Amino acid sequence: MKDFDYLGAGEVYLDAACQSLRPRPVVEALEQYYYRHNSCGERVKYLWGVKTDELVEGTRKKILKLLKLSARDYFVSFTLNTTYGINLLLNSLGGFSSADAGASKGSGSGRLGAASAGGSGFGGAGFEVRKLVTSEIEHNSPFLATMARAERLGVPRVVLKRAEDGALLMEDTDFAGAVVVVNCAANFDGRRLVNLKEVVKRVHKDGGIVIIDAAQAMAHYHEMLEKTEADAICFSAHKMYASSLGVMVVRRDLIPRLSLCFVGGGMVDDVFEDRYVLSAVGNKDHAHTIFEAGLQAWGEIISLGAAIGWLNGRTKEDKCRLEACTRELDEFLRGKSRVRMVGAEANPTMSFYVEGVDSHLLGAALGKEGIMARTGYFCAHYYLDKVLGMPPLMRFSLSYATREEDIERVKKALAKI
């Protein structure tokens, strides 16, 4: 494809689950920002800043539009990556003590709904976290973050099982006071949270909160999240053809349940010697600022807007090519008697090992043939190593940048090795 024409003929990039290759329009949007209107967002009155504001706001709108979510119900904040977003949310939930309440009276810190934090209008009952819930197939990002938060709060953590089709097995779990963090698509075989709607409904009915890790869903399965009622969605722009950036899409009615983690520039409307007025509390259009302490990655945010435009422009032909490449490689691998695949279905993200072959050596040998693919446990150690008891694996993750000839090259190289 012309948007990836910088890729050499002998270079086969199959590591899109980590970071997609960036199509030219995304890189050009980043260049435009640096060359044409390099300026700080949301603070600057000169023309470059006006342009930056317009494009940054445009990206927030495009994200909500892509997910068919209303700005009345959700807001969009930017962070470093999925991991950062999940940690930020978890650390903003629960942990209220009388000391917090006292601090918020004097300093304007603490609970976001507290009147002293700006006379909000947001309310502010907080949220008492009684347990953390995650699933067995998670990336270390939510897996470790839920572990650390549960430890810190002194509450239990439950690891639920997932069916082979990716459904979360909730059984008789009580989600009262629970913060549930689960992925929408796994990073080793792409299995999806097929009962996403049911999960959100059930957790809400019990009085819990749902955070969706959509890191692997946004490039090819964002439809799954359309009109979701989840409390928050975290994802990484760098896995959806955009620059390195984290995104949090958060329900507005979560705000009164949050306490403030970080505070700094760009978050306040007024400051006194010992108190401040949060913009998020005083102005609903500034809700996103509660997670955006300090300067943001303006160019990267703008290029995410370009990436969403580019994704929306994918043709039937592009989708068919990705599907055909996936099917071809999946069938080739499943047809080999010594290959053991993870998961039962073909997916652009596929993991396997070859009996009697060290995956790391295989990865290095493929690397010498120009094939870039990952080996190991892909930060899903618990499930792949402890639950499945598999040796380190090889992962191919395909994308719209994958060409038919890449698959032929991989097949030939594997046969040769």
Binding site for ligand PLP (CB under 6 A): 17-18, 81-83, 139, 141, 183, 187, 213, 215-216, 236
Rounded CA-CA distance 290/204 in Å is: 23
* CB-nearer residue toward ligand PLP: 321 or 395: 395
Rounded CA-CA distance 38/222 in Å is: 31
* CB-nearer residue toward ligand PLP: 114 or 214: 214
Q: Give the residue carrying structure tokens 């023309």.
A: 47
* CB-nearer residue toward ligand PLP: 276 or 378: 378
Nearest distance, CB of residue 139 and ligand PLP, angstroms = 4
Handedness of CA 30, 33, 38, 40 (dihedral sign): negative
* Residues 105-134 as b or e (16 or more Cβ within 10 Å = b): eebbbbbbbbebbbebebebebbebbbbbb
* CB-nearer residue toward ligand PLP: 103 or 147: 147
Nearest distance, CB of residue 277 and ligand PLP, angstroms = 32
Nearest distance, CB of residue 401 and ligand PLP, angstroms = 17
* CB-nearer residue toward ligand PLP: 109 or 134: 134
Rounded CA-CA distance 191/189 in Å is: 6
Query: In sequence order, what are the beta bridge partners of 339?
Result: 354
Among 399, 413, 412, CA closest to 7: 399
Q: What is the DSSP letter of 22?
A: P
Nearest distance, CB of residue 349 and ligand PLP, angstroms = 9
* CB-nearer residue toward ligand PLP: 18 or 261: 18
Contacts of 31 (CB under 8 A, 6+ apart): none
Nearest distance, CB of residue 279 and ligand PLP, angstroms = 26
Nearest distance, CB of residue 251 and ligand PLP, angstroms = 20
Contact call for residues 303 and 27 (beta carbons, < 8 A): yes
